[in-house]
Amino acid sequence: MSEPTLEAALARLEAIIEEIEGGALELDAALARFAEGVELVRRAGETLDAAETRVQQLLADGEDWDLRPLPTDG
Protein backbone atom coordinates (compact mmCIF):
# COMPACT_ATOMS: atom_id res chain seq x y z
CA MET A 1 0.00 0.00 0.00
CA SER A 2 1.63 3.29 -1.14
CA GLU A 3 -0.81 5.52 0.73
CA PRO A 4 0.27 5.86 4.32
CA THR A 5 -2.31 4.52 6.76
CA LEU A 6 -4.27 6.99 8.79
CA GLU A 7 -2.30 5.85 11.81
CA ALA A 8 1.00 6.49 10.09
CA ALA A 9 -0.16 9.81 8.62
CA LEU A 10 -1.29 11.15 12.00
CA ALA A 11 1.88 9.93 13.69
CA ARG A 12 4.01 11.65 11.02
CA LEU A 13 1.94 14.81 11.36
CA GLU A 14 2.49 14.84 15.08
CA ALA A 15 6.24 14.33 14.61
CA ILE A 16 6.38 17.19 12.12
CA ILE A 17 4.53 19.50 14.49
CA GLU A 18 6.84 18.66 17.34
CA GLU A 19 9.84 19.30 15.14
CA ILE A 20 8.49 22.65 14.07
CA GLU A 21 7.47 23.57 17.60
CA GLY A 22 10.94 22.57 18.81
CA GLY A 23 12.25 25.58 16.91
CA ALA A 24 15.57 24.00 15.99
CA LEU A 25 14.74 23.82 12.29
CA GLU A 26 16.01 26.26 9.70
CA LEU A 27 13.16 28.34 8.33
CA ASP A 28 13.19 26.75 4.88
CA ALA A 29 13.25 23.26 6.45
CA ALA A 30 10.31 24.30 8.64
CA LEU A 31 8.43 25.51 5.57
CA ALA A 32 9.13 22.22 3.76
CA ARG A 33 7.81 20.27 6.79
CA PHE A 34 4.80 22.54 6.89
CA ALA A 35 4.00 21.74 3.27
CA GLU A 36 4.30 18.03 4.04
CA GLY A 37 2.07 18.47 7.09
CA VAL A 38 -0.60 20.30 5.11
CA GLU A 39 -0.62 17.44 2.59
CA LEU A 40 -1.00 14.91 5.41
CA VAL A 41 -3.92 16.85 6.87
CA ARG A 42 -5.54 16.97 3.44
CA ARG A 43 -5.14 13.22 2.91
CA ALA A 44 -6.35 12.40 6.43
CA GLY A 45 -9.44 14.46 5.65
CA GLU A 46 -9.98 12.51 2.44
CA THR A 47 -9.67 9.24 4.34
CA LEU A 48 -12.21 10.39 6.89
CA ASP A 49 -14.62 11.22 4.10
CA ALA A 50 -14.38 7.71 2.62
CA ALA A 51 -17.83 6.27 2.36
CA GLU A 52 -17.75 2.51 2.10
CA THR A 53 -16.38 -0.06 4.52
CA ARG A 54 -14.69 -2.86 2.62
CA VAL A 55 -15.42 -6.29 4.10
CA GLN A 56 -13.14 -9.18 3.26
CA GLN A 57 -13.16 -12.79 4.27
CA LEU A 58 -10.05 -14.57 5.47
CA LEU A 59 -10.13 -18.10 4.11
CA ALA A 60 -7.94 -21.07 4.75
CA ASP A 61 -6.22 -22.27 1.62
CA GLY A 62 -4.49 -25.44 2.69
CA GLU A 63 -1.60 -24.34 4.87
CA ASP A 64 -1.93 -20.92 3.35
CA TRP A 65 -4.66 -18.29 3.48
CA ASP A 66 -6.56 -16.11 1.11
CA LEU A 67 -8.61 -12.90 1.19
CA ARG A 68 -11.87 -12.58 -0.74
CA PRO A 69 -14.58 -9.95 -0.59
CA LEU A 70 -17.37 -11.00 1.72
CA PRO A 71 -20.76 -10.71 0.08
CA THR A 72 -22.68 -8.47 2.47
CA ASP A 73 -26.34 -8.61 3.22
CA GLY A 74 -26.46 -4.83 3.01
Partner 1 sequence: MSWDLFSSAASESRNAALARSVAARDTDLFPMAAPRDGWTVAAVNAAARELVESVFPPMWVTGEVSNFVRARSGHCYFSLRDEDAQLRCVMWREEARRLPTTPPDGMQVRALGRLSLYEPRGEFQLVVSDLDRKGEGLWRLARERLRLQLDAEGLLAAERKRPLPRHPRSVGVVTSLSGAALRDILAVIRRRAPWTEVVVCGCRVQGDGAAAEISAAIRRFGQARCADVLIVGRGGGSVEDLWAFNEESVARALAESPIPTISAVGHETDITIADLVADLRAPTPSAAAEAAVPERGELRRETAALARRLEDGVREHIAAGREQAAGLGTALVRASRAHVADRRAALVEAAGRLHALSPLAALARGFAVPLAPDGRVLRGVREFAPGAAFQLRVADGAVACRVAP
Contacts of 20 (CB under 8 A, 6+ apart): 30, 33, 34, 37
CA pair distance 22, 69, nearest whole angstrom: 46
CA atoms within 13 A on the CB side of 38: 6
CB of 4 to partner 1, least distance (A): 10
Binding mask 10-49 for partner 1 (x = CB under 8 A): x--xx-xx--xx-x-x-x--xx-xx--xx--x--xx-xx-
**In angstroms, how far is the first alpha carbon of the chain from the final one?**
27
Q: Does 62 bind partner 1 (CB under 8 A)?
A: no
Q: Does 69 bind partner 1 (CB under 8 A)?
A: no
The site for partner 1 (CB under 8 A) is made up of: 5-7, 10, 13-14, 16-17, 20-21, 23, 25, 27, 30-31, 33-34, 37-38, 41, 44-45, 47-48, 50-60, 65, 67, 70, 72-73
